[in-house]
Every structure is written in structure tokens, then in C-alpha cells.
Amino acid sequence: MSAVADLAVTAEELDRQLGAASPAEIIAAALDRVGRERLALVSSFGTESAALLKLAADVDPAIPVIFLDTGWLFAETLSYRDRLVDLLKLRDVRTVTPRAADLARADADNSLWHTDPDACCRIRKVEPLARALEPFAAWLNGRKRYQADTRAAIPVVEADGARLKFNPLAHVNADEIALIYAAAGLPPHPLTASGFTSVGCMPCTSRVAPGEDQRSGRWRGRDKVECGIHLPRLS
């Protein structure tokens, strides 16, 4: 059996073991499985990011946190990142950016988000994250089943190429996220008050109307629902 197949079996077994575990228990299990130096938490510092960051900080505030600064983020997201890092006393936040040479080659006039959003996401998010994750054996992220139909069946643990991928908040609901914020006194993302329920890059994020799903403001009007970092990887 190949290493990738072995990892898939391991992920399935962990998913069975942790399927009903609390988010904190899932984070602790990931930490125990691979160790702090081999575990990363990937965060957008978006509208619900503080919940996972708070839970992880309670387990171990030195877990490395990877933040993708695409060059197109709202100023409010950058200030929110700084506020949460200070509030939660996160000890190892690593800001990752796209390669200047890649931007000069493929997006010199900063119009790629409009002409080819998949390619824009690839050079600004997917490839930088792949490079940042190279030293790690597993990573944590904040996806939740209730966010959109396309996320309704995500597992708690899955194989992601050569790594384990833990989704500690997969089975929580919006009310439970709100309780985490309230109990810890976590500040909301600055843009939530003006109708943004999911915040990504500025050109591709819009406000959400009542009755729409949480991520409907991302890439509105396009046949695109994910940036690509959560698509299956072969290596």
C-alpha cells in the first residue's frame, strides 16, 4: 500500500474516533498525533475565524498559525488579524504572500481576479499555502458543514495529499459559534456589521442578503465556490 493510501486509512480511522468529539478535543488529538512543530492552523482571520483561533490558543497558543496575505485583502481583515493575535496571545503567526515573480509574470496589471479568478486564487492562495505547509504533517482549518451546500458533508478528519487535515468545527452550528464568541468576549470582524458574512479578497467579496447562504457573497455571479485550497490534493 502506498503512503498516500496509508494516510487515507489513517484519516478514516481518526474521523471515526473523533466524529463526535468536541472541537477542543479534535485540536488536542491533532496536536498529540503530530506534535506542535508538525501541526499548522490555517486561518483567514475572517468573520468566524476567532472561534477556532480561540479554541486552539486554549489548547496551545504556540501552534503555528498560517495567514495568507494575498495582496487583495480588506484593510479591516489585516487590522482584525493584529487585534486577534494580541488578544489571544498567539505566539507563532506566519504571514505568507504570493511570489513577486509570479505576480509580475501572470498578473502585472492586477486584473487576473476579473479575467481568470481560478488562476488568481492559484498564484495568490493555493501555491503560497502549499509552500507554507511543506514542513507540516497536518493542518487545522475552520470549515463548517452549515456554511454552504458544498461543505455539508465534510469530515472531521481527512487526507489531504501527504497530510492529515483536521476540521474541528465541521459539526458545529452557527449558534455554537456565537456562544464561543460570547463566552470569550471575542470581537467580530469589522465588516460583519455591514452585511459581510464571509470575507475573502476585496474584489471577489460582496454583502449577503437575508436568506442567502453564508458564502453566497464569494465570487458572486461566477461558477466558483472555493478558492482551491480545500480541493483534493494528490501530493
Shortest CA distance to 127 belongs to which of 228, 4, 232? 228
Is there a contact between 29 and 15 (Cβ–Cβ < 8 Å)?
no
Amino acid letter, 200: G
Q: Tell me which residue of 73, 81, 16 sits closest to 43, measured CA to CA.
A: 81
Q: Dihedral of the CA atoms 149, 229, 43, 113 (nearest 10)? A: -90
> Which are the contacts of 114, defined by CB distance < 8 A and separation ≥ 6?
203
H-type helices in the chain, by residue range?
3-18, 23-34, 49-59, 75-88, 100-106, 112-115, 117-121, 127-132, 174-184
Cell matching residue 102: 509570479
* Residues annotated as catalytic (active site), given as ranges: 227
